Amino acid sequence: MKPIFVQLAGCPIILFPIHKFQKRRDIINQIFSKFILIFLLVILFLNQNIAEGVPGTSSFFFSHSFRFSHVIFFSQGEIQAKRFDNRTLEDWQGMIKRIDPSLTDSVQYIPGLLQIIKDSSAPNKTRAQAAYLIARMGKKAKHTVPIFIQLLNQEKGSDSLFWILKSFEIFGKDALLAGEPVQKIAISDQIKLPLRKAGVEALIKIGPEYSGTIPTLIKILSAPSPDVSPKTQSEIKYSEKVELATQAAQGIGYSGVNASATFPFVLRQAEHPNELLRMECVNAIASMGSRAEPAVPLLLALISNDKSPAVRDAAGKALGKIGSPSIPGLISLLDDSSVETRIQALEAIKLTRTKSKTVREKLLKKLEDKEPLVRIKSASLIWVLFRDSVPILPVLIDEITNKNRDVRSATVQLISRMGKSASDLVPLLEILLEDSRPHVRMTAKKAITVIQKPVKE
């Protein structure tokens, strides 16, 4: 860049030319540079007038020495954009959305992506996108986990920590080395809730292979005591504990039988006043299968008494997954005064796939239940477990014209499963095609169709 020598009012000035800007974003800098140049030229002009004794001016403010003892350096060289693996940040921002992490050659971008992640001056969104992209590469990029761990220990801002934790969540078991620092975040009361939740989720996906995962989930799950009223505690802190405990229960359910050591703690929290926490604890019990047999009495009580339909439904599914140990209690619930409880019990028995004589005899009795939906559900279960069409045909004949849409729908569904085994119903159904009630005609037509074109279970 060659200097330019000019003279203004007798003052020699050395100027460095303003570089031609190549990008629009530099226009502002160019305007600012010109403004400063004009400002300095005005100062020099005033200085010359003062030196010549212009009336009313303070000659001490500007002196001849100012003119000759200072050389004005004013230049705007070309701003070199920072590069990450020979690409600008703008290049990467456009590329990140187009890179397919499933392709083998996607690993070629890892060096540049890591440079972006390490650069704290880069936009946080771009750093997060870079981290996610690497994590989505899976095992091809697992060698980057130590670098992420290092960043986890360095980053202090919640935004930065969050995307690092989410990256470990995506890596899952491949982030096993990150277990300890992630665990510290998950259990720290000094860290904000969103970060702790991200830490818990990452720990869950890392899995029980890390020795601290299950103990940490137990600790978090046990934090909100079901015996202590929230009013006696800090309401916000208690709410956060419940939210984290619910997430821990989900994690235990995700781990399944590998988390059977948590059973006593899960069982206790299954009676927690918080509905969502109760439901997730019941789901966690269900994931343990037959190992959760001691939970049968509690689950039976939940089906009968819990105020939440979601919890009752979850309890029924859990009993079904526990299997035959649940049968005696479920059979007793078939005589419960609540229609919903009886139906829940039938659904749970179906899940157990138990084909005992006791179950068959009880189901045959329930074909005479006073509630139509219980009758058709019982008939359906007899078909599913024993493939016996004889005792259930009279029920189908009665319920195909029921005024209740749910009952008619359940009847048609059963006929669909039975296929040709329900062919004895066709003459009756053909008569119903002439019925004066539109819904009866429509149901009969649909039933005939499914009998002629049976659908496999």
pLDDT on residue 444: 82
| 145 touches 173 (CB < 8 A) | no
Q: What is the DSSP letter of 6?
A: E
Structural domains of the chain ordered from first start: 4-69 (no CATH), 87-211 (1.25.10.10), 382-457 (1.25.10)
pLDDT on residue 33: 59
pLDDT on residue 154: 78
Distance CA 321, CA 169 (A): 28
- The C-alpha torsion from 135 through 141 and 147 to 149, rounded to 10°, is 50
* b (16+ CB within 10 A) / e for 207-229: bbebebbbebbbbbbbbbeeeee
pLDDT on residue 42: 61
Amino acid at 452: Q
Distance CA 277, CA 279 (A): 5
pTM: 0.71
Amino acid at 186: A
> Can you read off the two tokens belonging to residue 431?
């008569």
Q: Is 125 helix (H, G, I), strand (E, B) or coil?
A: helix
pLDDT on residue 417: 83
Angle in degrees, CA 282, 191, 243, rounded to 5: 20
| 288 touches 256 (CB < 8 A) | yes
User: Could you report the per-residue pLDDT of 425-438, keeping only the tens digit for each?
Assistant: 888 888 888 888 88
Distance CA 352, CA 296 (A): 13
> Can you read off the two tokens belonging to residue 363?
């189901």
pLDDT on residue 413: 83
User: Distances in Å between the alpha carbon of 216 and those of 86, 148, 167, 173, 285?
Assistant: 43, 22, 20, 17, 18
pLDDT on residue 37: 65
Q: Is 90 helix (H, G, I), strand (E, B) or coil?
A: helix
Q: Which residues of the chain have pLDDT under 50?
A: 1-2, 4-6, 8-9, 13-16, 18-25, 50-79
pLDDT on residue 263: 94
* Complete DSSP assignment for 289-339: GGGGGGGHHHHHHHHHH-S-HHHHHHHHHHHHHH-GGGHHHHHHHTT-S-H
β-partners of residue 6 are 13
- 246 CB burial (10 A radius; 0-12, 13-18, 19+): buried
| 190 touches 158 (CB < 8 A) | no
pLDDT on residue 73: 41
pLDDT on residue 124: 84
Q: Is 388 helix (H, G, I), strand (E, B) or coil?
A: coil
Instruction: Using alpha carbons, select from 134, 185, 126, 130 the residue that is nearest to residue 155.
Output: 185
